[in-house]
Amino acid sequence: MADIDFEVDLEWSGTGRDGEGRARFPEHHVDVTYAGPEAMGGRGSGPSPEEFLMAAVSTCYSSTLFGLLRKAGLPVGRVSIRVEGKVTGYPMTAKFSLIRVHPEIHGGNPDAMDEYVRVAKEAREKCFIGKTIAGNVEYQVGNVFVRASAN
């Protein structure tokens, strides 16, 4: 088994509410401003670390789900995910407590809903970034939607 390395360059300046940072993904030529969310007293001038965590889990989940749908022989044109997260105990004992993904399968067969739900739950178990947070953050599959149209 091989080890695979990843690299992101980060800068942060300011304290608490006044803080703001830049995340650079050099390999992809992406440069993003990030800050604490307004709800937690931050600037809200870009994605928050909380949103980055939710995005990491749900991007892994979406690609895992798509692959498993194909492997199961279920029709799929594309997958979209709405993700929600919850931080509890703010401000004294803040902890990211929940990430819930709501997959929508486009170009699917609504008559096979039970199979889509089964595969959606299987994808949660197989997504390796989701496995990374296991035991620390509750990770759920919420509502599963199947649309016959790929649009």
Res 18 pLDDT > 90:
no
Dihedral pair phi/psi, residue 6, rounded to 5°: -130, 155
Res 151 pLDDT > 80:
no
Tokens of 30: 């992406």
The pLDDT score that the predictor gives to residue 25 is 93
The pLDDT score that the predictor gives to residue 150 is 75
Determine how many CB atoms are found less than 10 A away from the CB of residue 129. Answer: 15
Cα gap 98→118, rounded to integer Å: 21
The pLDDT score that the predictor gives to residue 75 is 98
> What would the DSSP string read from start to end of 88-137?
ESTTTT-EEEEEEEEEEEET--GGGHHHHHHHHHHHHHH-HHHHHHTTTS
The pLDDT score that the predictor gives to residue 15 is 85
With a threshold of 0.75, does the pTM exceed it?
Answer: yes
In tens, the pLDDT along 76-134 reads: 999 999 999 999 999 999 999 999 999 999 999 999 999 999 999 999 999 999 999 99
Res 16 pLDDT > 80:
no
Res 47 pLDDT > 90:
yes
